[in-house]
Amino acid sequence: MQKSQTLLIVEDEEAIRTGLVDVFVYHGFEVDFAVDGLEGLEKAIGGNYSLILLDVMLPSMNGFDICKAIREQDKSQPIIMLTAKTADEDIIQGLTLGADDYVAKPFSVAQLVLRVQAVLRRSAESQDSNEIIKLDSKREIDVAHLCIKGEGINNSFTRREMQVIEYLHQNNSRPVSREELLTKIWGYRPDMDIETRTVDIHIAKIRKKIEFNPKEPSYLQTVRGAGYKLLSQVD
């Protein structure tokens, strides 16, 4: 029998928290929860969760700081942020700190379940690789160690960022569309029809880590009307 997947829900609003616990238990998950930020961080760091649903506005410690603290210790932990804030700067902040995805309140419970299942499915499919991706003679990406090294640079990636890089590298003979990345990396089904800026923000994060000048990218380029293409030196 397959082991149940375990979620940690960090949410201070009792009605929302109780509803989410009931929904995910119904869908076959084991569910733990925390009612404030400090408790959420303690459980997140000390536990072994398949995925963390993390509210932004929490007592004692906000979700942004929790996400940052988790990422400092674990770059692979799947995290979806729940936020009542829909301003671009808040979405960008959460994803920049390392969240895999975000869901804005009020949300459809059915769509939230699909989003969680999609992130978990892709995380389960992810495999470690010893591949080195050479961008050029000055910069190379170490897939296994989630980092880029080279002239004047030494940055690390989250697991999701590296999945994007690997997929673009594997398909570098053509542009890869935003919709294809949502399907292949985040596991979204084409019929889910979900509006999200996740891909755009992850691309921006990767550019900041690999480019000499992110505003004029040399390696991760946008092909107008077609998608993104990673230009790399292949041995």
Residue 10 in contact with residue 66, Cβ under 8 Å? Answer: yes
pLDDT computed for residue 219 by the predictor = 94
Q: Is the pTM of this model over 0.75?
A: yes
Please tell me the distance from the alpha carbon of residue 206 to that of residue 51, in angstroms, as a whole number.
23
Give the helix ranges, DSSP H, for 27-87: 37-46, 63-73
Please tell me the distance from the alpha carbon of residue 98 to that of residue 72, in angstroms, as a whole number.
10
Segments of the chain scoring below 50 in pLDDT: 1-2
pLDDT computed for residue 104 by the predictor = 83
pLDDT, tens only, 172-207: 999 999 999 998 888 777 776 666 788 998 999 999
pLDDT computed for residue 108 by the predictor = 85
pLDDT computed for residue 105 by the predictor = 83
pLDDT computed for residue 2 by the predictor = 44
Write down all domains in the chain, each with its CATH number in brackets. Answer: 6-125 (3.40.50.2300), 132-230 (1.10.10.10)
pLDDT computed for residue 1 by the predictor = 34
What size, in residues, is the chain?
Answer: 235
Please tell me the distance from the alpha carbon of residue 150 to that of residue 72, in angstroms, as a whole number.
22
Cβ-count burial 6-21 (b if 16+ within 10 Å, e if not)? bbbbbbbbeebbeebb
Residue 41 in contact with residue 71, Cβ under 8 Å? Answer: no
pLDDT computed for residue 102 by the predictor = 87
CA distances from residue 24 to 87, 89, 191, 205 in whole angstroms, order as listed: 28, 29, 22, 31
pLDDT computed for residue 121 by the predictor = 81
3-state SS, residue 228: strand
